[in-house]
Structure 1
Amino acid sequence: MSSSSTRSTWLEQQLHWYFKHVYHRLSQANVPNECNFILEQFANLLDISESDLVGTLQLRYTTGMDLDAYKKEVLSLRALKAEIAKQKQSGKLYEAAKCLANVGAELYKVGRGEEARDWCEWGAELEGVGWKIWEQERRWASSHGLS
């Protein structure tokens, strides 16, 4: 996301939030190709290196930080990871797909329609992968008398 007039602190914060949610879900869903692709796309969108972007996922307290805000972020990350751990692979992919579509919506709001369309398409593709996996999960559960 270059230093354009549409760049805003709020939008950047939203994009980082979506990145965190998508990346954690995809990394736990055992889909490395999708995870790497989305990492690259978020890095391009936010105009940051991939390694620096992944570094934003690491919570580190440094002197002078707002301790309450840091604690809140730690609790939020723990809750996200606990939620993800309870989800089946298809659920992780579906939630990640929703976040990608939401990125598209945020970009559309600031007049970046072409980029918005790309993000929505990626979300739709990921949702399709999730549906295929859901079908496999359903068949497995049925064959094991769990449906």
Structure 2
Amino acid sequence: MSTDIIDRLEGDMKVAMKAREADRLEAMRFLISEIRKAGINEHREPTDDDALVVIGRLIKQRQESIELFKKGDRDDLVAKEELGVELYRTYLPQQLNAEELSKIVAEVIAETSPAGLKDLGKVMKALLPRVKGRADGKVVNAVVREQLQEA
């Protein structure tokens, strides 16, 4: 299992072990475990793309947990989940700002020549590989819808 993200994660995990950062170490071990599972499920070694998908999924799960824990007045668990979200985000590539995302969406729309909003899936299929790990899917969908309605 050797990809850039996984190698970096394993190195950071060793640092956390030496520093005796239990919560950080637990979050890293869980992330590595989930990335390995993604590869095992596909009967191959995990890739950076697998890692990006897993990291995105875990961030969303932890954000949902944060909301629930806040409603339940569990500040101790909120802090632990926030640490995980913050940690996982360090392994994602630089996120696209609204202007960059809008430009990429416009390029893909020009390439795919959609016939309006009914071709949303066609545009998303071509667009998602370009923005994988660099933009939230909901935000991408909203920008695509907005640009398709304007066209």
Same fold (TM over 0.5): no
| Higher Rg | 2
Relative to the length of structure 1, the TM-score reads 0.31
